[in-house]
């Protein structure tokens, strides 16, 4: 083996070295990955990772960042506990003498006319023009910038850039940070979407389905519940929801004599069923010479007499029990055991099929007609509900009986944002009357197309 000594050697030649500054692209990539992997992070770690990437992007360790998503409940800005922790403006001012409502009003004013605000050195004159800067300066902040962030051309929140070191923050830093604003926009919008989902989850868990006119109230209560959780309130509970000083209105469209119509249809169908059953039992007796068939046929004839003479309230239960416990097992036994009568018994079971059998024809016709009337009335009331909301928001709920009924409530507490006047009440009462008159005409026009002609009755409470 031979050894070479290079200590005194000289190499001559040239090479090309390309040096690329990957700081910006790597910082942007880090923010992308943090957003994508958000479910794997808790809130504080997530926030810190994004801030660290922004600091790398700014190429200055003395630059600090905070982000504030524009979270809203009923289109009104709200501050969560997370907002208070991760926004310099909110945290310093709420720790100072400013009330939250005052700070929300100022922030709303800024979000209505957003623009870049940059204070290289916060002066007394700056504080006079923008009072929230006082608390920020009192905490030792020298330079401060507020950047509006847009998602799909809509304001999603703001990015705060600040420094405790003089001259550390300048326009060059803001230009560098601007490259990350599309990603910050996605991040802030994601915060908004998650907040909305939380609100919706509380509403679905704690309350039943909602009417659009009162959705705002449930949003408000859900927000208070989430806020209490953030503040670690012991055993947070949802507030009771009340709407005071409202005017009730009621309407009903019913099928005239619906109980009588149902009983008549049932009687007719039972007569058909027992008549078919008597013929079936008679043929069974002839084919198989089974004496018990005569006994069962006799009971069927007696049932027809009872159907014609008496009330079905008690007889129906007794007759149904007779058909289910005596007739059905009897017929099923012989259908399976003797092929000679299988076809005969199958015809009986076809006749008592609820979907297509002759013994249910009158009840099916009645139900079909009732459904068509109710569908028509429902469709009209849906249009009516939309139209009355245009004048003044009101609570409107439909529910089914044999017909269709609805409740309405109108008043200032239903819609606090819009001034209430009893003129709206008079207007809705008038529209109630005209709506019912229109329903009378519509349902009457349906008569020729109904398998069972039915009339309707109307009732309103004003």
User: How many whole angstroms from its chain centre is CA 121?
Assistant: 48
Q: Which residues pair with 68 in a beta bridge?
A: 158
List, for the chain, all residue ranges whose pLDDT scores fall below the cut of 50: 1, 3-4, 6-7, 19-21, 40-41
Domains of the chain with bracketed CATH: 23-184 (3.30.450.40), 247-256+365-461 (3.30.70), 260-361 (no CATH)
pLDDT at 235: 66
Please write the tens of the pLDDT for every residue from 215-231. 767 777 777 777 777 66
Instruction: Retrieve residue 396's tokens.
Output: 């409107």
Residues in Cβ contact with 160 at an 8 Å cutoff, skipping those fewer than 6 apart: 65, 66, 67, 68, 87, 88, 89, 144, 145, 146, 147
pLDDT at 389: 86
DSSP annotation of 324: I
Q: What pTM was computed for the model?
A: 0.58
Question: For 67, what's the count of Cα atoms within 13 Å in the CB-facing half-sphere?
Answer: 27
Query: What's the CA gap between 380 and 436, in Å, rounded?
Result: 10
pLDDT at 313: 67
pLDDT at 210: 61
If phi over 0 gives left and psi between -120 and 50 gives alpha, with beta otherwise, what is residue 323?
Answer: alpha
pLDDT at 1: 46
Number of H helices, E strands in the chain: 17, 10
Nearest Cα to Cα of residue 332 among 351, 348, 319: 348
pLDDT at 331: 94
Give the 3-state secondary structure percentages of the chain, helix then strand then coil, rounded to 5: 60, 15, 25
pLDDT at 84: 80
């Amino acid at each position: 083996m031979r050894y070479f000594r290079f200590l005194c050697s000289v190499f001559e030649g040239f090479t090309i070295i390309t040096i690329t500054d990957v700081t910006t692209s790597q910082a942007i990539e880090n923010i992308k990955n943090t957003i994508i992997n958000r479910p794997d992070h808790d809130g504080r770690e997530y926030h810190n990772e994004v801030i660290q990437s922004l600091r790398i992007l700014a190429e200055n360790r003395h630059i600090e960042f905070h982000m504030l998503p524009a979270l809203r409940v009923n289109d009104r800005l709200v501050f969560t506990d997370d907002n208070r922790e991760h926004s310099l403006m909110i945290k310093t001012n709420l720790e100072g003498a400013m009330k939250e409502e005052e700070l929300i009003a100022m922030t709303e004013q800024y979000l209505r006319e957003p623009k870049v605000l940059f204070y290289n050195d916060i002066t007394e004159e700056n504080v006079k023009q923008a009072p929230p800067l006082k608390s920020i300066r009192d905490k030792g902040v020298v330079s401060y910038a507020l950047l509006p962030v847009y998602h799909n051309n809509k304001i999603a929140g703001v990015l705060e850039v600040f420094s405790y070191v003089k001259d550390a923050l300048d326009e060059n830093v803001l230009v560098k940070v601007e490259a990350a604003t599309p990603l910050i926009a996605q991040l802030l919008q994601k915060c908004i979407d998650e907040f909305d989902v939380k609100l919706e989850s509380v509403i679905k868990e704690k309350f039943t389905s909602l009417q659009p006119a009162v959705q705002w109230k449930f949003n408000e209560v859900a927000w208070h519940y989430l806020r209490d959780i953030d503040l670690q309130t012991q055993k947070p509970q949802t507030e009771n929801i009340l709407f005071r000083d409202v005017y009730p209105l009621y309407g009903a469209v019913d099928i005239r004599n619906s109980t009588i119509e149902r009983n008549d249809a049932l009687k007719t169908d039972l007569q058909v069923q027992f008549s078919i059953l008597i013929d079936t039992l008679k043929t069974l007796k002839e084919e198989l010479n089974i004496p018990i068939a005569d006994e069962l046929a006799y009971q069927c004839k007696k049932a027809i007499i009872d159907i014609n003479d008496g009330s079905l309230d008690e007889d129906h239960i007794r007759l149904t029990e007779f058909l289910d416990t005596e007739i059905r097992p009897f017929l099923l036994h012989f259908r399976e055991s003797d092929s000679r009568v299988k076809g005969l018994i199958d015809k009986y079971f076809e006749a008592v099929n609820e979907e297509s059998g002759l013994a249910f024809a009158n009840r099916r016709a009645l139900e079909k007609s009732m459904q068509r009337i109710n569908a028509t009335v429902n469709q009209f009331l849906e249009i009516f509900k939309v139209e009355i909301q245009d004048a003044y928001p009101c609570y409107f709920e439909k529910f089914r009986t044999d017909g269709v009924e609805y409740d309405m409530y109108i008043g200032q507490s239903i819609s606090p944002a819009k001034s209430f006047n009893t003129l709206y009440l008079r207007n809705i009462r008038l529209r109630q009357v005209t709506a019912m008159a229109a329903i009378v005409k519509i349902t009457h026009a349906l008569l020729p197309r109904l398998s069972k002609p039915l009339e309707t009755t109307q009732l309103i409470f004003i």
